Structure 1
Amino acid sequence: MEDFAVRGKEPKDEVQIYTWKDATLRELTDLVKEVAPAARRRNAKLSFAFVFPDKNGRFKVQEVGKTLSHANGRFDDGKALAELGFEVKNFFFS
């Protein structure tokens, strides 16, 4: 959460993706792999989370799923953002 404590100073390796609520974590994984070499490693595991401010303006991190770089159908690949409760504009992964 420290990485998101100051708005405008998010992690340098942040990836911004503009997508639809029906996108799956597998689709997002494939998009991330296009721009992040580390995500292309055969054994790479991607963890997805929603990062958003709470009522007091402090950022909260809500983990929503995991995927493997080269393994379709495992973990949370088929989960769509809408099904995970996606409502905010910014979506971060680590």
Structure 2
Amino acid sequence: HGGEINFLREREREREIMAEAATRRQGGWRQQLPPPPRGVNQSSLPKTEPVDREKTCPLLLRVFTKSGGHHTKEDYAVRGKEPKDEVQIYTWKDANLRELTDLVKEVSVAARRRTARLSFAFVYPDKNGRFVVRQVGQTMSYPNRKQPDDSKTLSDLHFVIGDYLDVAIY
């Protein structure tokens, strides 16, 4: 009975953690922001303060890659049975999508193709504990010019520590 009780306590703690994460997100800051009014220069909008990477401990970002499309929310439904194609990256909340693209290219042959396009999505539990896959941006493996999403940081995109990053490679 001791093992079963520990298992039940662990499951209850997981539910509490998921409920806390969902509560943090209910403040509205997790939702997609509307586009800025016409005539507003994007570069004039407030940017995330850079992190002092010498003094700040990095976070563990669990990245799941897939060729041809994103994983589905059902692929994440069972804790401990996440998709197999995982890469663990230690980074900071000021890491941008270009930086993450370059890290994915180090481990994925498909991402190194000259014409490869990478689509990024955050995966996190909603208030009911069901996973949501929310697309947040895309980059080109070898852009011939700066792409609009290249400079978006995890913080700009409202990343919460504990979220997964799902990367579709096209």
> What is the TM-score with the length of structure 2 in the denominator?
0.52
CA distance in 2, matches of 1:61, 1:41: 25
- Determine the structure 2 residue equivalent to 1:86: 159
Match of 2:106 among 34, 59, 84: 34
What is the CA distance between 1:89 and its match in structure 2? 2.0
CA distance in 1, matches of 2:82, 2:110: 19
> What is the TM-score with the length of structure 1 in the denominator?
0.90
CA RMSD across the alignment: 1.3
Higher relative contact order (CA 8 A, sep 6+): 1
- Determine the structure 1 residue equivalent to 2:87: 15
What is the CA distance between 1:46 and its match in structure 2? 0.7
Q: Which amino acid aligns with 2:161?
A: V
Structure 1 unaligned spans of 5+: none
Match of 1:69 among 141, 147, 150: 141
CA distance in 1, matches of 2:99, 2:80: 27
What is the CA distance between 1:4 and its match in structure 2? 1.1
| 1:56 and 2:128 matched | yes
Whichever of the two has the greater Rg, that structure is 2
CA distance in 1, matches of 2:164, 2:142: 22
Count, aligned residues = 94
Higher mean displacement: 70-79 or 39-48: 70-79
Identity %: 66
State the Cα deviation string for residues 24-70 of structure 1 (Å, max 9, x = none): 00000000000111110111111111100111110011111000111
CA distance in 1, matches of 2:106, 2:117: 15
Whether the 8 Å CA contact 1:65–1:76 is kept in 2: the answer is yes
